[in-house]
Amino acid sequence: MSPRSPREISVLVPPDLAPLYPDDPSRIGPYLVLGRLGQGATGTVYAAVDAAFSSPGDRLVAVKVLTSPELDSPDVYPALEQRLRALSNTDPRRVVVPLDFDSDANPPWLSMPYLAGERLSHYVTKRGGLGTGKLIALATGLAEGLSALHTRGVAHGSLRPSEVLLESHGPHIMECAVAASAERMRGAGATWLSPERFRGGGATPAADVFAWGAVVSFAGTGRLPFGPGEPEEIAERAAHGSFDLDGLARGLRPVVGRALDPDPDRRPSLREVIGAVIAVWQSENADHLRGSAASPAGNATGAGSPGRDDLALILEREWHAVEPPARVPQVVRLEGRMSNRRTTRALFLVGSAALALVLVGAGIWGISRMFDPDDTLASDAAGESVEGEPVDASPSADEDPLTLVVRFDPAEQESPESGPWVYTPVDRDDEPVRGQGVPSHSAWAEQWDEAGEPAEAVISPDAEVLCAKFCAAPNHVFLDEEGRGTWELTGGDFIDYLSWGPVMIVEVTFAEEPAEDGGPREIVKVTELFTE
């Protein structure tokens, strides 16, 4: 595949991604915009493609175009840049860490990993308070996220239930970069604002602890801790410590009550909060934990990361029934090469340390994106074009040794049951034929040209397989009313398909780079490509 030729990649998008409005941008910085995620007080958030990532699930990013009058002041962007610089190395397990920021763009934009999940505010409004186990997991996760921010010298300043995303791996704190203004919080967000903040004080770790207490109280009881009313009434109750924790898991009441203390000096530190919540969990689960690896709560105040094993264990045991929302593959066509992403003054990158943690933690990032502050951006190397103007060649995502677009033809398989399995690299120069209904298997496959010699691969029975249209196993009936479905299969199902199904175009991810002896490589992921 030539680095300069048009090429298609697959991106996993939410099935209900809202389309762009006529005036919406089709490109933002280096990103190709696919749809709208929503509108907030500080700007519009778009779903966009970052072709630097090697896996279809990781390529979707959220880009917020900052248009709010709230940000219309000369001091705002320098302060934001400073905050982003501090955030760039934040442990991203429990917070949404920005990827890039361009304050010179008009309008400025900020990109983040795309995270799918439900806001805590929606969840509680729909289903009521969380059960004790999940509440404890939420409480520890939020405290861990705030602690990660504070370690980098950043106080969140506007933590509230609508900024907590319940994701399948655990809770995440959003809006860490562009926090809501104190003015906005004093209006609609008075419940989550500490008394000193309500009186005009700045964002501090102690104020974040107060917000933690209010959010945990709301999550556990389904009610506002200071009751309903006008902002001033709520603030008055908060200033007098008149909170209502009835219905909150009994063990959590002391630490939440202390967090809601009107006097910031009397609130616990996050270290104490984490230790106290872990202790509640351990006492609730004493029978199960006897003899297990969990450490005593005292470890939470020891040296190093407080109670990190316990935090992980709590999430593992208690974070149930938060399913990852469905994503469907969409074929996206990219052309030419990308203009230099680092021409602007304020472009921020996730530090490689933070990225490594993401890789280890949620496992949702492509390994192709490792930067240091001075490098040229990994996306430069991906060879995408914003303007479509070719520039000097550099390694391109086309040349990513781990992914390849290939054709699998069951008729070419000599050993369809045991493998190795034959594939042929393919490429295409034209736009997919659209608007003529769903093409047949063969009509779709004919749109692709051979771009290399056939080769052999082994397919792990545990390989991840995502089918958009054709590669269903016989015992799976998934098609929706439009004759299109998306489903996850195993490598075993896919192997089964290769003994009977029609030809198929897929993007494969190999476990390793090509072997010197040319032996078959192992395929660990298969994503079917299919036109919309």
CA angle 127, 129, 132 (to 5 degrees): 125
Partners of 173 in the β-ladder: 95, 164
User: Nearer to ligand ATP by C-beta: 114 or 423?
Assistant: 114
Residue 42 or residue 191: which is nearer to ligand ATP going by CB?
A: 42
Distance CA 98, CA 22 (A): 27
Residue 41 CB, shortest distance to ligand ATP, in Å, is 4
Between residues 175 and 493, which has the closer beta carbon with respect to ligand ATP?
Answer: 175
Q: Which of 17, 115, 455, 511 binds ligand ATP (CB under 6 A)?
A: 115
> Minimum Å distance from CB 70 to ligand ATP?
9
Q: Compute the distance between CA of residue 67 and CA of residue 91 in angstroms, rounded to an integer.
A: 28
Q: Report in angstroms how near the CB of residue 508 gets to ligand ATP at its nearest.
A: 27
- Residues in contact with ligand ATP, total (CB under 6 A)? 16
Which residue, 60 or 347, is less far from ligand ATP as judged by CB?
60
Shortest Cβ 365–ligand ATP spacing (Å):
13
Smallest distance from ligand ATP to CB 117, Å: 8
Place of tokens 């299969």: 489
For residue 45, the minimal CB distance to ligand ATP (Å) is 3
Helix (H/G/I), strand (E/B), else coil: 461: strand
Segment contacting ligand ATP by CB under 6 A, of 107-115, 275-283, 434-442, 457-465: 107-115
3-state secondary structure 17-61: CECCCCCCCCEECCEEEEEEEEECCCEEEEEEECCCCCCCCCCEE
Report how far apart the first and last C-alpha atoms of the chain are (Å, whole number).
23
Would you count residue 330 as binding ligand ATP (CB under 6 A)? no
Contact 421, 413 (CB under 8 A): yes
At its nearest, how many Å lie between ligand ATP and the CB of residue 396?
Answer: 27
Sheet arrangement for strand 100-102: 27-28, 31-39, 43-49, 60-66, 109-113, 100-102
Nearest residue (CB) to ligand ATP, 117 versus 501: 117
Long-range contacts of 487-491 (CB under 8 A, 24+ apart): 488/464, 489/465, 490/461, 490/462, 490/463, 490/464, 490/465, 491/459, 491/460, 491/461, 491/462, 491/463, 491/464, 491/465, 491/523, 491/526
Q: Is the CB of 185 or the CB of 245 nearer to ligand ATP? A: 185
Rounded to an integer, what distance in angstroms lies between the CA atom of residue 14 and that of residue 260? 38
Name which of 207, 195, 211, 198 is nearest 160 in CA terms.
211
Instruction: Please report how close the Cβ of residue 167 comes to ligand ATP at its closest, in angstroms.
Output: 9
Among 31, 53, 101, 114, binds ligand ATP (CB under 6 A): 114
8 Å CB contact between 201 and 265: no
Helix (H) or strand (E) holding 13: strand 7-13
Taking the complex as a whole, the smallest distance from the CB of residue 180 to ligand ATP amounts, in Å, to 6
**Token pair of 478 as six digits:** 């998934």
Q: Which helix (H) or strand (E) holds 300?
A: none
**Whose Cβ is closer to ligand ATP: residue 64's or residue 156's?**
64
Binding mask 30-69 for ligand ATP (x = CB under 6 A): -------xxxxxx--x----------------x-x-----
Task: Give the residue with the Cβ less far from ligand ATP, 122 or 240.
Answer: 122
The verdict on 364 binding ligand ATP (CB under 6 A) reads no
**Please, which of residues 136-165 interact with ligand ATP by CB under 6 A?**
162
Q: What DSSP state is assigned to residue 386? A: S
- Per DSSP, 278 falls in state H
Q: Find out whether 243 and 260 touch, Cβ atoms under 8 Å.
A: yes
Tell me how far, at minimum, the Cβ of 383 lies from ligand ATP, in Å.
25
Residue 108 or 383: the one with the smaller Cβ distance to ligand ATP is: 108
Q: Minimal CB distance to ligand ATP: which residue?
A: 40
Going along 54-102, which residue ranges are E strands?
60-66, 100-102
Tell me whether residue 3 or residue 329 sits nearer to ligand ATP (CB atom): 329
Segment 464 to 493, residues that bind ligand ATP, using CB under 6 A: none
Type of residue at 114: Y
Percent of the chain that is helix, strand, coil (3-state, to 5)? 30, 20, 50
Q: State the nearest-atom distance from the C-beta of 267 to ligand ATP, in Å.
A: 24
Query: Is 64 flagged in the annotation as binding?
Result: yes
Q: Which is nearer to ligand ATP, 173 or 457 (CB)?
A: 173
Count of CA atoms in the C-beta half-sphere (13 A) of 110: 25
Rg (CA), the chain: 25
**Contact pattern for ligand ATP over residues 82 through 101, marking x by CB under 6 A:** --------------x-----
Measured between alpha carbons, how far is 369 from 52 in angstroms, rounded to an integer? 7
Which residue in the set 28, 112, 235, 245 belongs to the binding site for ligand ATP (CB under 6 A)? 112
* Residue 175 binds ligand ATP, judged by CB under 6 A: yes
Pick the closer one to ligand ATP by CB: 107 or 492. Answer: 107
Binding site feature residues = 64
* Residues making contact with ligand ATP (CB under 6 A): 37-42, 45, 62, 64, 96, 112, 114-115, 162, 175, 180
- Binding residues for ATP, by number, are 64
